[in-house]
Amino acid sequence: MKQFIKKIAFYVLMSLLLFNGIAFLSLQILGKSNFYKPEFVKNTVIDTNFDYVVLGSSTGLTTLDTKLIDSITNKKGLNISMDDTSLNSHFLMLQHFKASNKSAKCLVLAVTPWDLKNKNPKLNNNDYRFLPYVQEDYVFDYYNELETKTFKPLSFSRYFPIIGVSYYNTEIFYPSIISFFNSNKRNHFDDKGNFCYPTNGKPNKLEIDEIEVVINNPFYFKIKEFCSQNNIKLRIYISPIFKTKLKIHDDSIIDQSNFLIDEEMFYDNIHVNQIGRRKCSIEFAKYLK
């Protein structure tokens, strides 16, 4: 028995050392790459001061083309939106943006009415993209707060990187290999952080919905506070939603929800395609001016 336990302990220890080493390397490589948005913000974006940044989920990522807006307004913008996220991730991204020594005069917070209303934010599907920076307190605290189960793969990665790297192996380990061979590889966004949907999608809604915009999400208030502490002007932006009327009580919200009616401009019910994106960006430039 003694021999058995010794042998098992030895191999477990060896495996822990070896595979944690590999996982650590994997996170290091990814952390120095451009693959995902957090890494792009930290490593690729050379400018440190921006006139505005667009922060949101897929609607922010695919509606406002900062390249086009900059060419119209002569301002300097950046899109730091990430698909499949919500206000809590946006708050994390904002902290990360600041921690990467970047600043902006105006934050365009591209959100959906549903996200603003959500009282119980949860960890998002793409939050693992901050894993290379889990040693930073703001990332660790975020994971620790939102991982509600006893087993917290993202938080535990601060001490055992192999946990997060193997839990998210297809999302972390393989991209790190790709980044090792091609450090310029970006995962579906351009050098200004934008992405657009093609024109082959269609919305599929028949009746018009009416939604009241209510702000309940605690992370919105955290973002608001963060902006006021850092002298950043905060503007909420709502992108086009097919056949949806919004009841908005706050005049400061930039509302484009009804700006597009033609279904040819949409990729699906809540995302515009590249034609819609162009129209929205030109219109948005007017607000920015």
**Is residue 148 a contact point for other proteins (CB under 8 A)?**
no
Q: Which is nearer to other proteins, 23 or 265 (CB)?
A: 23
- List the beta strands (DSSP E) in 151-279: 209-212, 233-238, 244-247, 254-255
Site string for other proteins, 41-70 (x = CB under 8 A): ------------------------------
**Is residue 204 a contact point for other proteins (CB under 8 A)?**
no
Q: For the segment 8-37, give every residue that binds other proteins (CB under 8 A).
A: 8, 11, 15, 18-19
Q: Least distance in Å: CB of 236 to other proteins?
A: 32
Degrees, nearest 5: CA angle 14-20-22: 105
- List the beta strands (DSSP E) in 27-148: 49-56, 77-79, 103-110
- Select from 289, 234, 250, 213 the least CA-distant residue to 94: 234
- Chosen residue from 43, 44, 103, 166 binding other proteins by CB under 8 A: 166
Q: Least distance in Å: CB of 150 to other proteins?
A: 8
**Is residue 151 a contact point for other proteins (CB under 8 A)?**
yes
- Cα–chain center distance at 86: 8
Q: Which is nearer to other proteins, 140 or 167 (CB)?
A: 167
Degrees, nearest 5: CA angle 221-226-227: 100
Other residues' Cβ atoms within 10 Å of the Cβ of residue 100: 18
**Is residue 140 a contact point for other proteins (CB under 8 A)?**
no
**Is residue 169 a contact point for other proteins (CB under 8 A)?**
yes
Counts of helices then strands in the chain (DSSP H, E): 12, 7
121: its two tokens: 């934010």
Choose the stretch contacting other proteins; rule: CB under 8 A; options: 2-10, 61-69, 215-223, 228-236. 2-10
DSSP 3-state assignment of 260?
coil
Q: Which residues bind other proteins (CB under 8 A)?
A: 1, 3-4, 7-8, 11, 15, 18-19, 151, 153, 162, 165-170, 173-174
